[in-house]
């Protein structure tokens, strides 16, 4: 299962209470107060991790809790601190705090089997807490409460047998929305069946599903392309787009957010125009969809991968494309058998200036 947006509840551990105790020992009459402090509650911590690629762990465990600090004890013994609860998230996770007035709304996943209430918590209504976009980045989402003070703290010349202590503070808690925006250097954008997954499979070690029907790819897949000198680039294959995607037609715009952070966009066209398509029109409507979704995407640098050059009409269409975009880099290829894939890798290498 692939989860890229989910609501969670997090509660850090409460602090332990301070202790009221007096020293009792033979030959030490009225030994004075010796109640120790309570321990601090555990924190809820998020840490980005390369081996995690989606938020599915939170689907199975949406309630995060850290343990509480132990209470203080006699003989000036401190309570043990609560254990932190550490959660791995993929790099590219955004964390929003959900304001209490919209807490009752269901999330996108929850509305799937209950059709009528289509009110969905949107990140727009929430406050951004953090954007974990680096590897091994850490965030303390909720801090554990500090421990209370034992009665030793309250002794003074006038209060020699204090019975005061303080209780531990409660740990922070809240509802949060986690959203994943995959971070890749390059985003593959194209109509269904253009050959995006085939290309990703050829340039990286990823094994995306490839099949001759539209919408084979249902979830974004990121592959790593390796170059000489240990340089690498990440390439994201997202589900195919169709006209109206920005209004959630087809698999919709939900996946477009995964390419918002790509440095380079690759428009993969079926240059042969098989299945009655026209590569020029495809390119035009793909670019328009991106622009309607997020206008900053149209300023992003882009190239064209003209795929399926083994099929009839491809050469003619390639000539038309080159004519129309004389300045653009256009890489002809047959992704299915690997022809042109090396040129494509070289183009990535140059354009990403690795």
Ligand X SMILES: Nc1nc2c(ncn2[C@@H]2O[C@H](COP(=O)(O)OP(=O)(O)OP(=O)(O)O)[C@@H](O)[C@H]2O)c(=O)[nH]1
Q: Which residues bind Mg ion (CB under 5 A)?
A: 197, 216-217
**What is the footprint of ligand X within residues 165-194 (CB under 6 A)?**
190, 192-194
Place of tokens 């029907």: 213
Place of tokens 């321990």: 39
Nearest to 92 by CA among 178, 16, 180: 180
Neighbours of 109 (CB within 10 A): 14
Give min distance, CB of 196 to ligand X, in A. 4
Does 216 bind ligand X (CB under 6 A)? Our answer is yes
Q: Are 160 and 126 in contact (CB under 8 A)?
A: no
Q: How far is CA 205 from CA 114, 136, 222, in A?
A: 39, 23, 10
Torsional sign, CA 103, 108, 114, 117: positive
Interface region with ligand X, contact rule CB under 6 A, candidates 32-40, 105-113, 205-213, 317-325: 205-213
Does 336 bind ligand X (CB under 6 A)? Our answer is yes
Give min distance, CB of 296 to ligand X, in A. 24
Q: Which is nearer to ligand X, 117 or 338 (CB)?
A: 338
Run of H or E including 303: strand 301-307
Does 217 bind ligand X (CB under 6 A)? Our answer is yes
What is d(CA 205, CA 194) in angstroms, rounded to the nearest whole number? 20
Give min distance, CB of 104 to ligand X, in A. 36
Compose the 286-315 pattern: x for residues touching ligand X by CB under 6 A, - for all others: ---------------------xx-xx----
Place of tokens 């809240």: 174
Nearest to 134 by CA among 228, 46, 265, 259: 46
Q: Which is nearer to ligand X, 277 or 288 (CB)?
A: 277
Place of tokens 């997090």: 10
Neighbours of 97 (CB within 10 A): 15
Give min distance, CB of 258 to Mg ion, in A. 14
Interface region with ligand X, contact rule CB under 6 A, candidates 110-118, 163-171, 225-233, 329-337: 329-337
Give min distance, CB of 221 to ligand X, in A. 9
What is d(CA 57, CA 3) in angstroms, rounded to the nearest whole number? 9
Does 211 bind ligand X (CB under 6 A)? Our answer is yes
Give min distance, CB of 219 to ligand X, in A. 10
Does 196 bind ligand X (CB under 6 A)? Our answer is yes
Q: Which is nearer to ligand X, 32 or 338 (CB)?
A: 338
Instruction: Please give the residue ranges that form the binding site for ligand X (CB under 6 A).
Output: 190, 192-198, 210-212, 214-217, 239-240, 307-308, 310-311, 334-336
């Amino acid at each position: 299962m692939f989860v890229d947006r989910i609501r969670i509840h997090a509660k850090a551990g409460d602090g332990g209470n301070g202790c009221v105790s007096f020293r009792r020992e033979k030959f030490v009459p009225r030994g004075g107060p010796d109640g120790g402090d309570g321990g601090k509650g555990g924190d809820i911590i998020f840490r980005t991790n390369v081996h995690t690629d989606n938020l599915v762990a939170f689907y199975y465990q949406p309630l995060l809790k850290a343990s509480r600090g132990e209470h203080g004890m006699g003989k000036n013994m401190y309570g043990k601190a609560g254990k932190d609860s550490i959660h791995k998230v993929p790099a590219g996770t955004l964390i929003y705090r959900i304001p209490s007035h919209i807490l009752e709304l269901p999330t996108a996943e929850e509305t799937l089997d209950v059709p009528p209430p289509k009110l969905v918590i949107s990140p727009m209504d929430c406050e951004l807490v953090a954007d974990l976009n680096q590897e091994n980045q850490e965030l303390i989402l909720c801090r554990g409460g500090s421990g209370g003070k034992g009665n030793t703290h309250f002794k003074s010349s006038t209060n020699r047998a204090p019975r005061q202590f303080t209780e531990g503070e409660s740990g922070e808690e809240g509802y949060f929305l986690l959203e994943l925006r995959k971070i890749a250097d390059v985003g593959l954008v194209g109509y269904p069946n253009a050959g995006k997954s085939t290309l990703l499979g050829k340039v990286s070690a990823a094994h995306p599903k490839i099949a001759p029907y539209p919408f084979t790819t249902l979830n974004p897949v990121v592959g790593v392309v390796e170059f000489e000198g240990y340089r690498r680039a990440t390439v994201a294959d997202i589900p195919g787009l169709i006209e109206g995607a920005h209004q959630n037609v087809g698999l919709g715009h939900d996946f477009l957010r995964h390419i918002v952070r790509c440095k380079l966009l690759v428009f993969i066209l079926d240059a042969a125009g098989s299945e009655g398509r026209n590569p020029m029109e495809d390119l035009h409507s793909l670019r328009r969809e991106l622009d309607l979704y997020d206008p900053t995407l149209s300023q992003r640098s882009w190239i064209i991968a003209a795929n399926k050059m083994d099929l009839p009409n491809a050469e003619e269409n390639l000539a038309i494309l080159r004519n129309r975009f004389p300045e653009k880099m256009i890489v002809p290829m047959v992704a299915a058998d690997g022809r042109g894939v090396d040129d494509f890798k070289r183009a990535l290498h140059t354009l990403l200036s690795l």
